[in-house]
Structure 1
């Protein structure tokens, strides 16, 4: 896309894009960039693997909508749910059966609550990184397997393909960390969330822009008219983007907006 092209909507990942894991804060230049976009009449959206209840550290910045669970649930500014798709119950049943005999950490995420299968040091560290309390343990004797919007599994990359094909064949895995995979229904990605909000507000995809740094951002970056990878993004994310900006702690979002004269 040429510089100066009209942008009406910008979608932002949170961790590593809006929120710095190093400083545990949102850079001042990012806050300035969001203010600049709103003053230009451009709508701004969150696009995250988190749930709507796990983004309080950024919600005060006044977004126009939220793509949560990597596109599995889209929530409007007034908290109304515009779109929702749960994981296949059979996949969840097979996950519970498999992990009854295998040492594997996972969490199950519903619209308004999370559960973990065990509170191991790895689980505790993961939720500490996300700045969230460790959820309660799942009730294996009477689980609700029909309304789970996302699972998160601590799973090595080299084991992912075999596990997904064998245990959760109706789901897809994407990564935001080397040893952790988000599990969503097949066909769901942040791209789906972008489409939901384009339809809701009447945008065309040619009027959209997105920012991300992790594997779960790739489909979104490729789909929007301008896909921007943060300088701290992984190589596969950078390869999928139209433009690579500076990292989050070096004014990456602000510099990209200036580069495209938005």
Structure 2
């Protein structure tokens, strides 16, 4: 099939376990963009944590950040910027502080990542992985100033994150509460998903979703994988994700994206 656009999740999909793009995968992406096929990175990450990956690939790319909340074209035009409401933000933060004091909370607003304590080991680890520097802030002061979050992120032990997802999801039906990794819990407006972000970009390019190809590996990729015409799960994905996808390729440590593109004559 002739795909007219390619979307890819980042962590666990495009990046290997050492948080790098493998050379053959980067070369394959450069080949498709050289042929005029747009490439877009779709992630829970903030834009500043995606930019170094675009540089590592060495190709132009659109960015769908915050699981679809912020959509940016390769030339920097922001097509969509959707935030959580004040009421939801205050309620979620209050419940987490009360019921899950062991969770490390992060407050992402547009192009800035706010934390309560930069010395927090979870924050330091995330800074090393993303190469983005966080900013210490009082979350209540941000809310009072009208700086509402694109997303809230809880970091913690895997069993805590599972419990938070299980209990917060029914408590806040207007929000999407979903794991993006065993130790990460993303909280965004329910109106936002990777599928809605993709729809915004497809409309910008004038491409139908049936002509789109997407790669993913985790639970926050489900909406994306169900939305596009052809979805590909990585070999390292959970079985539930593989069952949803149209195809399954090799894992992120084995050039899964490259192998699918090569086998299907895309490169």
TM-score, normalised with respect to structure 2: 0.88
C-alpha distance 170-137 of structure 1, shift in aligned 2 (>3 A): farther
Unaligned regions of 5+ residues in structure 2, if any?
A: none
Q: Which residue of 1 aligns with 2:94?
A: 97
Note the alpha carbon deviations across 1:20-42, whole angstroms, 9 max, x for none.
Answer: 223x3210111111122123321
Q: Which residue of 1 aligns with 2:17?
A: 21
Q: Which residue of 2 aligns with 1:136?
A: 135
- 2:211, 2:63 → 1: CA distance? 18
C-alpha distance 140-31 of structure 1, shift in aligned 2 (>3 A): closer
Residue 158 of structure 1, CA deviation? 2.8
Q: Which residue of 1 aligns with 2:7?
A: 11
Q: How many residues align?
A: 255
Q: Is this contact kept in 1: 2:71–2:200, CA < 8 A?
A: yes
Residue 141 of structure 1, CA deviation? 4.6
Q: Which residue of 2 aligns with 1:184?
A: 188
Q: 2:198 aligns with which of 194, 199, 205?
A: 194
Q: Please state if 1:36 is matched with 2:35.
A: no
Secondary structure of 2:136's match?
A: coil
- 2:53, 2:235 → 1: CA distance? 21
Residue 196 of structure 1, CA deviation? 0.7
Q: 1:156 aligns with which of 149, 153, 161?
A: 161
Residue 225 of structure 1, CA deviation? 0.9
Q: Is this contact kept in 1: 2:175–2:187, CA < 8 A?
A: yes
Residue 150 of structure 1, CA deviation? 0.9
Note the alpha carbon deviations across 1:129-181, whole angstroms, 9 max, x for none.
Answer: 43443x23331452235531111113521332322333x44210222211211
C-alpha distance 229-143 of structure 1, shift in aligned 2 (>3 A): same
C-alpha distance 141-253 of structure 1, shift in aligned 2 (>3 A): closer
C-alpha distance 178-141 of structure 1, shift in aligned 2 (>3 A): closer
Q: Is this contact kept in 2: 1:89–1:146, CA < 8 A?
A: no
RMSD between superposed Cα atoms in Å: 1.9
Q: Please state if 1:147 is matched with 2:148.
A: yes
Q: Is this contact kept in 2: 1:156–1:179, CA < 8 A?
A: yes
Compare 31-40 and 99-108 and name the one that shifted more: 99-108
- 2:3, 2:178 → 1: CA distance? 28
C-alpha distance 250-90 of structure 1, shift in aligned 2 (>3 A): same
C-alpha distance 215-131 of structure 1, shift in aligned 2 (>3 A): farther
Residue 54 of structure 1, CA deviation? 1.2
Q: Please state if 1:66 is matched with 2:77.
A: no
Q: Please state if 1:165 is matched with 2:170.
A: yes
Residue 15 of structure 1, CA deviation? 1.3
Q: Which residue of 2 aligns with 1:120?
A: 120
Unaligned regions of 5+ residues in structure 1, if any?
A: none
- 2:87, 2:253 → 1: CA distance? 42
Q: Which residue of 2 aligns with 1:77?
A: 74
- 1:170, 1:8 → 2: CA distance? 33
